[in-house]
A and B are shown apart, each in its own frame.
Chain A
């Protein structure tokens, strides 16, 4: 089955700096890679996703890159703000015969943005 590794497990940055979180996956058939942000006491919230036919996607201060050959993808947050502090999860999935998401998650990165 799929295995997703995520690094680092914790990350502290100064407000205004950039943060980068990296993930690798094992199943070359995976073709959907979402990123979730989880704040304390809440469920994971989708912040950005990328599909395997795209190498990069950007949404304001957030960008995701995908290298299919190397089987890794990364989340980039620029101009970090204190409200970006949360746990971030990467995930990978492939289309199943039943048409459902069987997301495999990484272990998460706790991002702290220091004012």
Chain B
């Protein structure tokens, strides 16, 4: 069964550094998402992406965050200048269509900011 794959599985970075989290969505999917989960808290929506542009973003997704689909397969989340509170599990997800298609999640990247 096709999967959403994320790399790396664990990223450690120093405060103020830039990080790029990478995702390969399922190949025929058209909608892409990033969610995050701070340890012990809820999974939270960050951003959705369709047709090479952001379709929705949450309050969490401020100017420090950006997303990109640089080629036909990768979908990346960049955090420009990491803060301690960015430490979380980041999940990429994709869906074939919009409302009537189920969301498939990757296994996540654990980001630790020190």
Contact = CB atoms under 8 A, between A and B. Distances in A.
A30 to B, nearest CB: 12
Interface string A56-95: 0000000000000000000000000000000001010001
B112 to A, nearest CB: 15
B102 A46 contact: yes
Nearest to A45: B105
Contacts of B55: 96, 98-100
Contacts of A104: 45
A102 B103 contact: no
A43 B107 contact: yes
Interface residues of A, number: 26
B25 interface: no
Interface residues of B, number: 27
Contacts, number: 68
Contact of A103 (B6, B31, B98, B103): B103
Interface stretch (B12-20, B36-44, B66-74, B76-84): B36-44
A99 B99 contact: yes
Q: Is the interface of B mostly helix, strand, loop or mixed?
A: strand
A43 B93 CA distance: 9
Contacts of A101: 31, 33, 48, 95, 99, 103
A107 interface: yes
B75 interface: no
B58 A34 contact: no
13 contacts: A41-B107, A42-B107, A45-B105, A91-B43, A98-B55, A99-B50, A100-B31, A100-B50, A100-B56, A101-B33, A103-B103, A104-B45, A108-B42
